[in-house]
């Protein structure tokens, strides 16, 4: 397009130059007889002035036509730019998706990973400003574990957590500040959406308690527990904390403690899940052959951990 426009501009310039020369010659034919009225050549030159007027008129017509043609070309370019901005601004839309993945977020930025899988980088949902169940919906599993750990730190426990990798069925160890090496209780966290925690998960946790020889345990979830799970936990020294109970516990804390808990929950990219094996933030990937986006580890293909996209980020 730019090449064609360049050729058109040069042709117009050449026509304008020719028109100017034509008008200059015509002016000479008109003016010269006036200065040579006493010369013997006057009679020969006096017949040139009509030709001069014709040349001046022709040159003016050529220049007018060129100006009209240039105006039309500029108008066409403007209309093309309006209809298809990427034609005139080739980098404007090359990396921005047509639509946002959800309300309250900025557009997705799409790029290609080394293995050719499209990666969509989202900026996350709207950040909660106060405590509610919406905070649990917004945060990822690692932020939930950090929140639960901070809850127990605020009442004086010494805590130790496992950020990623095999945890042996335990996410957090609680102990006394005086004897941090002696666990008093164990905590397992389950950041789930909707699905209830069943008795099988509680039995697995009881097995971890037995292997570490710790008689008491806490099981925290953003969801709820099945009746069988509640019954088994009551018989085996396991205190259950579901989403509503956690919110009630937070509500009993002092305002500055509640704010501190909110800051822990919403730290960093609180909505982007952490790879359970590598301990790094995952990325939103789109399958090569189409289909639903999913979370994938940035260390692929060395790490093939994936997670479904759920909650506020699900499309």
pLDDT in tens, 43-90: 655 666 577 677 677 777 767 676 766 555 555 544 444 444 333 332
pLDDT greater than 50 at residue 102:
no
Reported in sequence order, the residue ranges of the chain that DSSP labels E, i.e. its strands, are: 109-112, 118-121, 158-161, 172-176, 179-190, 217-221, 238-241, 283-286, 294-296, 306-308
CATH number of 133-265: 3.40.1350.10
294 phi and psi angles, rounded to 5 deg: -150, 165
Quote the pLDDT of residue 290: 81
Rounded CA-CA distance 308/77 in Å is 46
pLDDT at 122: 54
- Whether the pLDDT of residue 117 is over 80: the answer is no
Task: Report the predicted TM-score, pTM, of the whole model to 2 decimal places.
Answer: 0.60
Say what the pLDDT of residue 107 is: 35
**Cβ of 106: how many Cβ atoms within 10 Å?**
11
Instruction: Give the pLDDT of residue 43.
Output: 60
Computed over every residue of the chain, the mean pLDDT equals 76
Q: Among 3-12, 99-108, 128-137, 178-187, which stretch is predicted with the lowest mean pLDDT?
A: 99-108
29 has pLDDT over 60: yes
> What mean pLDDT is predicted for residues 288-308?
88
Burial of 74 (0-12, 13-18, 19+ CB in 10 A): exposed
Note the pLDDT of residue 144.
Answer: 95
Least confident of 27-31, 94-98, 118-122, 237-241: 94-98
| Nearest CA among 245, 271, 234, 276 for reference residue 148 | 245
Instruction: Answer yes or no: are the C-beta atoms of 162 and 170 closer than 8 Å.
Output: yes
User: Which of 205, 173, 201, 171 has the alpha carbon at shortest distance from 276?
Assistant: 171
């Amino acid at each position: 397009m730019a090449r064609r426009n360049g050729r058109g501009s040069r042709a117009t310039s050449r026509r304008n130059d020719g028109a100017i020369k034509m008008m200059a010659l015509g002016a000479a034919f008109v003016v010269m007889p006036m200065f040579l009225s006493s010369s013997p050549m006057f009679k020969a030159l006096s017949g040139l002035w009509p030709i001069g007027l014709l040349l001046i008129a022709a040159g003016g017509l050529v220049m007018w036509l060129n100006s009209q043609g240039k105006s039309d070309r500029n108008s066409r370019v403007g209309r093309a730019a309006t209809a298809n901005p990427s034609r005139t601004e080739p980098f404007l839309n090359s990396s921005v998706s047509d639509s946002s993945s959800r309300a309250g977020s900025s557009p997705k930025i799409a790029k290609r990973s080394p293995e050719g899988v499209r990666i969509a980088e989202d900026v996350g949902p709207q950040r909660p400003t106060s405590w509610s169940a919406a905070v649990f919906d917004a945060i990822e599993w690692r932020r939930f574990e950090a929140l639960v750990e901070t809850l127990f730190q605020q009442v004086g426990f010494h805590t130790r957590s496992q950020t990623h990798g095999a945890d042996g069925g335990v996410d957090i160890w609680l102990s006394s500040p005086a004897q941090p090496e002696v666990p008093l209780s164990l905590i397992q966290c389950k950041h789930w959406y909707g699905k209830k925690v069943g008795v099988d998960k509680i039995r697995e946790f009881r097995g971890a308690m037995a292997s570490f020889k710790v008689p008491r345990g806490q099981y925290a979830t953003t969801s709820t527990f099945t009746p069988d799970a509640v019954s088994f936990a009551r018989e085996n020294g396991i205190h259950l904390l579901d989403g509503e109970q956690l919110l009630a516990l937070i509500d009993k804390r002092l305002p500055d403690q509640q704010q501190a808990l909110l800051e822990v929950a919403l730290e960093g990219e609180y909505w982007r899940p952490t790879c359970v094996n590598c301990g790094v933030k995952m990325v939103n990937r789109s399958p090569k052959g189409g289909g639903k986006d999913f979370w994938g580890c940035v260390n692929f293909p060395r790490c093939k951990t994936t997670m479904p996209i759920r909650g506020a980020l699900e499309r």
